[in-house]
Amino acid sequence: MSIAEQSSESPEPIVIAHGSRRGFFPRLDRFLARYHRPSTVKMTLDHPRVTFSFDDIPDNAATNGAGILEAHGKRGTFYVAGELCGRRFRHDVFASGAAVAELAARGHEIGCHTYSHADVQLLNPAGYDAEIAASRDFRGKLCALPEIETHAYPYGSVGLVQKTVASRRFSACRGVRPGLNHGVIDLGQLRAVPLYDSDYSDEQIVTFIDEAVARSGWLIFYTHDVADDASYQGTSTRLMNFAVEKAIEAGCEIAPVATTLDIIRRKSDAARP
């Protein structure tokens, strides 16, 4: 997503764009960032874990996505870009600030997705800090929300410098590189799998869950909208239900990123001599 506009009811339009990242040096920067690990932890879990996370949070993610999780007694992580709240992009309307506050009140984690949905690879440290500060200020104005612990990079885009900044500002940051988190995990760029109908079949989703069980690992799914007619970057309500039910059937614990991270860290601390 490169541009987001307010709905016609909004007082003025908002435009959020990212620059070209296809050149050799930006691609090299992102590649090297994968192996730059300023913050790691050795993960030991008693049970495999699965997290369902939502980026930008269209209003149907806040209703359908959260509702499906809640129907099973579970909670997820919602990565908010505050400047998008209540605005419209094409056919999507993003959840309002009040809806975000309600999600938090119901026990879901509200994470940082920058304030303006910025491509952080294009930001210098001061610019990145400004985005993070604006995001935290936005949350503070909604209600007495807990401190932001985790972050997801818009577009999954991060370079060496920005990953260092993010690792100092957050307990963990989620990327979009597919895979399972297990063993010594990179807290600056957690692996995650897109829960898109357009990307993976039911059988492939089950394979990811089975791998989490076999390795006692942590599987993070991410998506955007959740609807019967989901976009190519979204999840149908059928697939969302399917993934949640299969994770539960497999014996996985389902919890937000921050909750799982707290458990991992407590176990890591207890294992130290």
DSSP string, the chain: ----B--TTSSS----------SHHHHHHHHHHHH--SSEEE---SS-EEEEEEES-BHHIIIIIHHHHHHTT---EEEE-GGGTT-EETTEEBPPHHHHHHHHHTT-EEEE--SS---GGG--HHHHHHHHHHHHHHHHHHSSPPPP-EEE-GGG---HHHHHHHHHH-SEEE----S-B-SEEETTSB--EE--TTT--HHHHHHHHHHHHHHT-EEEEEES-BSTT--TTSB-HHHHHHHHHHHHHTT-EE--HHHHHHHHHHHHHHH--
With a cut of 70, say whether residue 78 has pLDDT above it.
yes
- pLDDT at residue 217 in the model: 97
pTM of the model: 0.92
At residue 24, the pLDDT reads 87
Query: What integer best gives the mean pLDDT of the chain?
Result: 90
Average pLDDT over residues 76-104: 92
pLDDT band for position 130 (cuts 50, 70, 90): very high
> Span 22-44, mean pLDDT?
91
Output the pLDDT for position 5: 38
The answer to whether residue 2 sits within a structural domain is no
Q: Is residue 39 part of a domain?
A: yes
Q: Determine, yes or no, domain membership for 100.
A: yes
Residue 38: domain span: 32-271
Residue 3, pLDDT score: 30
Identify the pLDDT of residue 21. 64
Q: Residue 28: what pLDDT?
A: 93
Question: Is residue 20 situated within a structural domain?
Answer: no
Average pLDDT over residues 62-66: 98
CATH of the domain at 57: 3.20.20.370
For the ranges 8-12, 58-62, 139-143, the lowest mean pLDDT is seen at: 8-12
In a domain, 141, yes or no: yes
Query: What confidence score (pLDDT) does residue 147 get?
Result: 80
Give residue 224's pLDDT: 97
Q: Is residue 18 part of a domain?
A: no
Whether the per-residue pLDDT at 176 is higher than 60: the answer is: yes
Q: Residue 18's pLDDT is what?
A: 53
- Give a yes or no: residue 150 inside a domain: yes
User: Could you give the number of structural domains in the chain?
Assistant: 1
256 pLDDT band, cuts 50/70/90, is very high
Classify residue 25: in a domain, yes or no. no
